[in-house]
Amino acid sequence: MAVNLTEAKYLIIGNSAGGIGAAEAIREVDERGSMAIVSDEPYPAYSRPLISEHLAEGCSLERMLYRPADFYERNGIRAILGQKAVSLDLTGRTLTLESGSVISWQKLLLATGGVPIVPPIKGAEREGIFTFTRLDDAKAIDRYLDEADRVVVIGGGLIGVSVTEALVKRGAEVTIVEMKDRVLNTILDEEVSALEDSALCQAGVNIITGRVVSEINGRGKRVNSITLDNGTRIPCDMVIVAIGVRPRLELVNGSRIKVNRGIIVDRQMATSHPDVYACGDVAEAYDITCGECRLTPIWPNAYIGGRTAGFNMAGRPAEYPGGMAMNSLKYFGLNVVSAGMVTPPDDSYEVITSSKDGAYRKVILKNGVVFGLIFAGEIEKSGIIRGLIKDQINVDEFKQSLVADDFGLASLPGELWRPELEVPAGAVVSPIVEEEPEEVIAGE
């Protein structure tokens, strides 16, 4: 028989960026309402982008924590960690956990994130096959590396390149197998993708594009090679599937909550069901650059979406400002930033580029408004242009300066940058520093 574990005015399923953003926003409005966070991971909220550092150099959980260890206690949150949510009753407003315990709720946030995409490959049941989206994945790979020198990474996207860098630092011989014609093809254009390809090859990584793995072979239960769709056999001791993630929808499948590729939400991050919200990798939220809702599974969008949901759950009206694809990378020593659109879909867009002294800059515009950027090498000024995308500023009068070597705040019309410099009389003013963007990778 199920045991009623707790009643929560606010129930958050998911303990990553979106869930934490919601919890913080709720507490800004409602300091006392009962709140519970449920996660099937046993750890306090940690920064998922750092799992590659954990694998590469043993970055400790303490260093990976997204909030201090006493975050839950300090905010009056019941953290129910290491327990999987298995059944959601929208009519009765209850959630059943794998243990059989039941939680009742008044307001619910679905911040369940994504799950790794694992295609049906023959031999996928063998030992030595891993995914790479969670801390436990990194821990399992770390243990297996004692018996593995040669690794095949299936997928040349963000997750694949991230785990590859960590493996190279650990001394492994790595081969990337990418189905498309180039690595990082969804977030980079051909020019910068070629730069990243070169950096990988210089680090000793073998890259195979335009192929898929048709079979994972083994001696006994353990992996000892893979076979490509053209019959080529590649020896290896470990396989990491890094194709990507898909929204984790099992709690809402078959329910009255509307779903497309992910859970459909409005600008308040509300779903189609009263008092149920969603954010992060599981939600299709408004994207500035395409003007419609879509999946944008990155950390900052999850956090901002979570805050928006949290405010609305607690009764303070808030609107999601809109997100966009954003990535700031430094794999194998190459600094790269991309945001928004990286390849224009048709001739109605204008592309401005500059390539000089190892620095590549590209800005995509339409009707004078910036829709995307890619910077490689020197990336310091990319944050300004990212702000122009976010605010949908018309840049026709100064668009050529966006890719200039001396581009900066002073390149913008005074009415755009002077308000940023105004400070109260008597305030201490620090020099303006254009910060390097934070690392942003997929994963809510």
Strands 276-278 and 292-294: unpaired
pLDDT of residue 112: 97
175 CB neighbour count, 10 Å cutoff = 18
Residues 6+ apart with CB under 8 A from 80: 5, 6, 36, 37, 38, 39, 97, 103
Top-level class of domain 4-115+246-313: alpha beta
Pair 132, 139: CB distance under 8 Å: no
Pair 65, 75: CB distance under 8 Å: no
Helix (H) or strand (E) holding 334: strand 334-340
Cα within 13 Å of Cα(285), Cβ side: 33
Residue recorded with tokens 């600094």: 335
Pair 390, 324: CB distance under 8 Å: yes
Residues 6+ apart with CB under 8 A from 427: none
Q: Provide the residue-wise pLDDT of the chain in tens; the chain has 444 residues.
A: 445 558 999 999 999 999 999 999 999 999 999 999 999 999 999 999 899 999 999 999 999 999 998 999 999 999 999 999 999 999 999 999 999 999 999 999 999 999 999 999 999 999 999 999 999 999 999 999 998 999 999 999 999 999 999 999 999 999 999 999 999 999 999 999 999 999 999 999 999 999 999 999 998 899 999 999 999 999 999 999 999 999 999 999 999 999 999 999 999 999 999 999 999 999 999 999 888 999 988 889 999 999 999 999 999 999 999 999 999 899 999 999 999 999 999 999 999 999 988 899 999 999 999 999 999 998 988 889 998 998 888 999 888 999 988 887 777 776 666 544 443 333 333 222 233 333 344 443
Paired tokens of 146: 């004692």
What phi and psi values does residue 154 have, to the nearest 5 degrees? -90, 105
Residues 6+ apart with CB under 8 A from 141: 55, 130, 132, 163, 238, 240
Angle between helices 190-202 and 158-169 (to 10 degrees): 20
Distance of CA 263 to the CA centre of its chain: 17
First to last CA, the chain: 34
pLDDT of residue 358: 83
Domain boundaries, the chain: 4-115+246-313, 118-243, 326-421
Residues 6+ apart with CB under 8 A from 321: 288, 304, 390
pLDDT of residue 437: 31
How many whole angstroms separate alpha carbon 342 and alpha carbon 442? 16
Pair 260, 246: CB distance under 8 Å: no
351 CB neighbour count, 10 Å cutoff = 12
pLDDT of residue 428: 30
10 Å CB burial of residue 143 (0-12, 13-18, 19+) is: exposed
Q: CA 63 → CA 5, 66, 135, 154, 159, distances in Å?
A: 32, 9, 13, 29, 21
Give which of 289, 295, 347 is closest to 321, Cα–Cα: 289
Q: CA 230 → CA 118, 125, 226, 238, 243, distances in Å?
A: 20, 22, 12, 21, 19
pLDDT of residue 406: 83
**Helix residue ranges, H only, 145-284:** 158-169, 190-202
Same CATH fold assignment for domains 4-115+246-313 and 326-421: no
Residues 6+ apart with CB under 8 A from 186: 157
Q: CA 180 → CA 154, 157, 184, 207, 305, distances in Å?
A: 11, 10, 9, 12, 31
CATH superfamily of 118-243: FAD/NAD(P)-binding domain (3.50.50.60)
Q: Domain 326-421 carries which CATH code?
A: 3.30.390.30
Pair 239, 129: CB distance under 8 Å: yes
